[in-house]
Amino acid sequence: MISYINGEVVNVIVSEDMPIGMPEHVWENHDGSYTMKLNAVYNHETLQESFLHAVGHIAEDDFHKGQSADEIEAEAHGRQYAVVVNVR
């Protein structure tokens, strides 16, 4: 599923091949788009939270801040996200 989040192209995949303890994983691709994997093991509520957490990383441009992963996560956990996502 391709979504557009703050104008960024995000390929969202629900995966059955992710480790327990990792509800989501998001990264930037070489072409500047993003891929977000959601772990199919988790329930809808958890995936919704995880989705919004990952959206926050994209919307706040966390991938270009030059901070460590720990710093980025510390900031991200204080965020409350409710976004409108256009799915095409």
**Consecutive H or E run containing 73:** helix 69-76
Alpha carbons 57 and 42: distance in angstroms, whole number: 20
For Zn ion, the nearest residue by Cβ is: 76
Q: Could you give the 3-state DSSP secondary structure of residue 17?
A: coil
Of 41 and 49, nearer to Zn ion (C-beta) is: 49
Taking CB under 5 A as the rule, which mask of x and - marks residues 3-42 in contact with Zn ion? ----------------------------------------
Size of the site for Zn ion (CB under 5 A): 2
Q: How far is CA 3 from CA 7, 24, 49, 74, 83, in A?
A: 9, 16, 17, 26, 12
Q: How far is the CB of 23 from Zn ion (least distance, A)?
A: 10
Q: Which of residues 57-76 bind Zn ion (CB under 5 A)?
A: 73, 76
Interface ranges with Zn ion (CB under 5 A): 73, 76
